[in-house]
Amino acid sequence: MKLPISPPCFNTLLAKAEGSKFYKLISSSLGPTDAEGRYLHWDKLRHLQPPEGWTSEYYWLALKFARKGLYKKLPFTSKSGEPFQFCMIDSIYRDLHWIDQNAAGRIGIDKPVTNPHTRDTYLVGSLIEEAISSSQLEGASTTRNVAKEMLRQGRKPKDHSEQMIFNNYRADN
């Protein structure tokens, strides 16, 4: 995997932004994302055409200004003492809402599922689906079919991804 190129230093770019450049920077209506709503790292942004009248570096600086207002600090720091932080943009809330609605198992039972055996089968299947979806969101890389087969047959996990799914399934039971 290729490491992304580090962005230009925020403070260095800010020091270069004198007079009209600085005014343009702080008065811009740019948000924390590009025109298409993407939250891009410098390594990708530097290859895009910046808005008219902007250099890639000043476009990056404007985005960073907009992002700084949205930062949420975490209660721990890096080895060098820098605080860990993240930026919550609107699309993250939308995506989290989608995950809440679509990635979890279904706990409810349809009306046709009335006999105890069918109901239990439905609930077990729901728990399996939830364990797989949750683990895949956390980085597990295996197919649904392989994961279902492992859980239904009761075989031991073969790798870290299967172990994650197995652990999530056991936690739900």
Q: How far apart are CA 162 and CA 173, in angstroms?
A: 17
Nearest to 88 by CA among 45, 137, 32, 130: 32
Separation of alpha carbons 91 and 88, rounded Å:
8
Percent of the chain with pLDDT over 70: 87
* pLDDT recorded at residue 42: 95
For the chain, domain boundaries = 10-87, 103-172
Decide if pLDDT at 5 tops 70: yes
* Contact between residue 151 and residue 169 where contact means Cβ atoms under 8 Å apart: yes
Q: pLDDT averaged over the chain?
A: 84
Q: Are the CB atoms for 25 and 58 separated by under 8 Å?
A: yes
User: What is the pTM (predicted TM-score) of this model?
Assistant: 0.58
| pLDDT per position as a tens digit, 143-164 | 889 998 998 899 999 999 889 9
Report pLDDT digits (tens) over 116-153.
666 667 677 778 888 888 888 888 888 889 998 998 89
Summarised one tens digit per residue, pLDDT across range 61-112 is 989 989 998 999 999 999 999 999 999 998 888 888 888 877 655 555 555 5
